[in-house]
Structure 1
Amino acid sequence: MLAVSYKVPVLNAGELPKQNIRDQVYAVLRDRMYRGEITFNDRLIDNELAAQLKVSRMPVREALLQLKNEGYLEGTSRGFVLPQFTPEDIANMFEIRLLLEPTAAAASCSHATVEGLGRMKAAVDQADRAHQKADVLGYISANWAFWTAWVEMVPNDRLVQVINRLRDHAQVVRLATLKDKEYRALSLARTKEILEAFLKQDPEDVKDKVAHNLRASAASYYAKLQSELDQKGTAPAQEPAAPRRRSRQG
């Protein structure tokens, strides 16, 4: 495995306080994770990253340890790697996301701004172009921008923090499914449906569309995983159980 090569702004350790350098390295690495530019084949090694970023080793080490403590990376005998989640881990994450994200999206729709909707529309256009060019990383980046645009309009900051953390850990699903042209096309279609519901200012429709997207994303991931298991002749993957629907009162 090789250390990841980055095209990033050069950080000068002599011009910025150590704390700021660590924060900037942290932000660079998180951004690369969001965009799918760090994969499960990549190994992040502090001294090699420090050389690439032209900073000292210590702030890079601190940024990597922070990412490890937050669950974004796992430590190994030589460097750090993306965590390998089990199918049960993924199922649990989808179950929690299904309980939180549809309601959050409805609240976002109720508090939507012209600027926020514009960012969502621009992200969908970017995703469409990336899909047509078979630009997987470009599509993942646009998909992330779309999701970020509506999450930023959610009025509950604590809810946003929880959703962001769960979404961060869903990178394994994006990397597994969005490389496939068919799955990517379905993802794009669902994203356009969510945008349309936002533009209609229909919170209930937004809620339904986001829930549908999560269930479809989970199904795509498990179908992809099952296909790989079939090729290896191993046991079938277990799909996540959908959360129970509560009956409406009144």
Structure 2
Amino acid sequence: MVQSLQFSQPLYQQIYDIIKSSILAGELKPGQKVNVSQLAEKYNISRTPLREALRQLQIEGLLVQDHLGLSVVKLEETDFKDLYECRLMLEPKIMGLILKTVANEELEEIEKVLLKAESAFKEGNLLQLLELNAQFHDWLLEASPNKRALHLLQQVRSFLLLYRANILKNNEHNREILKEHRQILNALKARDEAAVIQNVENHLRNDLERGTNMIRE
């Protein structure tokens, strides 16, 4: 169903949100070509805001440009593993630093995000669950005192968004991920650095296995 555009947001932001949701929900499939003219006609907008939206999706790694044109990024096992190796090198160390700076009040706010994610899982709202799972990591990582390392990690996580969306189509994976997020949060609240790093590494390695199996299916 075609979503209607509103006047409350810039057009490029609205069309960006619509196309991004279509990609993450699987309506636009990995490898599928994106026709700019058809999209402009479909949403009755000029090419200027549309191209700005598509440019932002390219920056985030959801769309790719080659000699054949613009298309949704393909799910590639080698690329996925390379990205997760980057996460494994960066994220546990960053989380260890966060433990020294994150306030109890911030952990309480992060727990609220986790509770919302658990509710979204029970309601079967996968796109909201994807967003809330991302927020869980984002809120934690924002407490990092090393902003350069944080910026690198955010780039890696952005390129993994489509992979994560596909992993979340499996309910058992959702249950496991929420349990692992809860374990990470509990370790942070206990101020146990070794447990924080171990739980983060376990979560990432489990995600790597979940994603690899998803790609191979």
1:169 aligns with 2:167: no
> After superposition, where does 1:173-212 map in structure 2 within 5 Å?
173-212=163-202
1:36 aligns with 2:33: no
The letter of the residue matching 2:183 is E
The letter of the residue matching 1:162 is L
Shift of 1:31: 7.0
Say whether the 8 Å CA contact 1:107–1:203 is kept in structure 2: no
TM-score by length of 1: 0.72
Question: Could you say what the CA RMSD is over the residues aligned between the two structures, in angstroms?
Answer: 3.2
The letter of the residue matching 2:208 is A
C-alpha distance 145-38 of structure 1, shift in aligned 2 (>3 A): farther
Question: Which of 7, 10, 34 pairs up with 2:7?
Answer: 10
2-side partners of 1:81 and 1:102: how far apart? 33
2-side partners of 1:90 and 1:110: how far apart? 31
1:153 aligns with 2:146: no
2-side partners of 1:29 and 1:99: how far apart? 33
Q: How many residues align?
A: 215
Shift of 1:133: 1.7
Higher relative contact order (CA 8 A, sep 6+): 2
Say whether the 8 Å CA contact 2:64–2:73 is kept in structure 1: yes
Shift of 1:78: 8.8
Say whether the 8 Å CA contact 1:10–1:53 is kept in structure 2: no
For residues 151-179 of structure 1, what are the alpha-carbon distances to aligned partners after superposition, in whole Å with 9 as ceiling and x for unaligned?
11111111111111110111233122211
1-side partners of 2:74 and 2:63: how far apart? 9
Aligned residue number for residue 126 of structure 2 = 136
> After superposition, where does 1:234-245 map in structure 2 within 5 Å?
none
Say whether the 8 Å CA contact 1:140–1:174 is kept in structure 2: yes
Shift of 1:216: 0.4
Secondary structure of the corresponding residue to residue 24 of structure 2: coil
1-side partners of 2:99 and 2:3: how far apart? 36
Shift of 1:86: 1.6
1-side partners of 2:14 and 2:206: how far apart? 34
Aligned residue number for residue 215 of structure 2 = 225
> After superposition, where does 1:106-145 map in structure 2 within 5 Å?
106-145=96-135
TM-score by length of 2: 0.81
Shift of 1:67: 3.5
The letter of the residue matching 1:152 is E
The letter of the residue matching 2:107 is L
Secondary structure of the corresponding residue to residue 65 of structure 2: strand
Say whether the 8 Å CA contact 2:111–2:185 is kept in structure 1: yes
C-alpha distance 220-160 of structure 1, shift in aligned 2 (>3 A): same
Structure 1: 5+ residue stretches without partners: 14-20, 229-250
Question: Which of 176, 197, 204 pairs up with 1:214?
Answer: 204
C-alpha distance 199-225 of structure 1, shift in aligned 2 (>3 A): same
Shift of 1:77: 8.4
The letter of the residue matching 2:63 is L
Say whether the 8 Å CA contact 1:6–1:52 is kept in structure 2: no
The letter of the residue matching 1:206 is V
Say whether the 8 Å CA contact 2:62–2:72 is kept in structure 1: yes
Say whether the 8 Å CA contact 1:120–1:150 is kept in structure 2: yes
Secondary structure of the corresponding residue to residue 81 of structure 1: strand
Q: Rg bigger for which structure?
A: 1
Question: Which of 57, 74, 95 pairs up with 2:85?
Answer: 95
2-side partners of 1:132 and 1:115: how far apart? 26
Say whether the 8 Å CA contact 2:3–2:18 is kept in structure 1: no
C-alpha distance 113-6 of structure 1, shift in aligned 2 (>3 A): farther
